[in-house]
Amino acid sequence: MSADARRAIERVAHSIHRRGLTHGRTGNLAVRDGDRVLLTPTGVSLADVDADRLSVVALDGSHLDGPKPTKEAFLHVALLRVRPEANAVVHTHSVHAAAVSCLSDVDPENPIPPLTAYYGMRVGKLRMLPYFAPGDPAATGAVEDAARVTHALLLRNHGPVVAGADLDAALDAVEELEHTAQLFLLTRGLATSPLTSAQLHALATPSGRTSS
């Protein structure tokens, strides 16, 4: 497996933990490398991820090499199977996004409104899945269905799982989702002005994109 992919997983895992986007031994990452997938192992804090101690699975989820993969490996491989343009997946238990996933009165088709341009560009559509116990492979079908619509999912009573062209893109989207979830919770009960469909469409065009 690619040494660059291994180093990227170690770097991003440590960054996620350092930024407080997950806690304890929660959260996991995946990178597609040809017809195989590199994953963070089960029971390892993202602060302690080691490039030389990663799991390797096939796109059907079967364990090929390395330590036992995270029990949520099926989330990652399901997203990567459905979205061939994606090469990485980030799953965290970030506080504000997880808080939104616990609310009973949000629309599963649009659980967080597009309050900022960067949310529109980096997250776009967000879908919230029904509740499944962590590690329950029965969620595979729901993940695949939602992934046909969007690269950004919110697992009910759990947290976000987001695919991207690479790990940095997936991490950017997770951070933007967490930031907008915080804004959403801060403004609950107040009148807000989310971006319109036309404004979101403009952001999706090359002339509407910005890098900073």
Predicted confidence (pLDDT) at residue 205 exceeds the cutoff of 70: no
Domain coordinates in residue numbering, the chain: 3-208
pTM for the model: 0.93
Reported as a single tens digit per residue, the pLDDT across 59-106 is 999 999 999 999 999 999 999 999 999 999 999 999 999 999 999 999
| 144 given a catalytic annotation | no
Q: What tokens were used for 96?
A: 């504000």
Residue 54 and residue 9 in contact, taking contact as beta carbons nearer than 8 Å: yes
- Long-range CB pairs of 136-143, under 8 A, 24+ apart, other chains included: 137/74, 139/74, 139/75, 140/74, 140/78, 143/74, 143/75, 143/78, 143/79
Amino acid in the structure at residue 32: R
Half-sphere exposure of residue 211: CA atoms within 13 angstroms, side-chain side: 0
Q: What CATH architecture is 3-208?
A: 3-Layer(aba) Sandwich (3.40)
| 118 given a catalytic annotation | yes
**Residues with Cβ < 8 Å from 20, sequence gap 6 or more?**
95
**Looking at 72, 175, 176, 178, which residue is catalytic?**
72
CA–CA dist 72, 91 (Å, integer): 9
DSSP 137: G
CA–CA dist 46, 23 (Å, integer): 8
DSSP 12: H
Reported as a single tens digit per residue, the pLDDT across 149-162 is 999 999 999 999 99
**Looking at 118, 119, 175, 178, which residue is catalytic?**
118
Binning pLDDT at 50, 70 and 90, where does residue 1 land? low
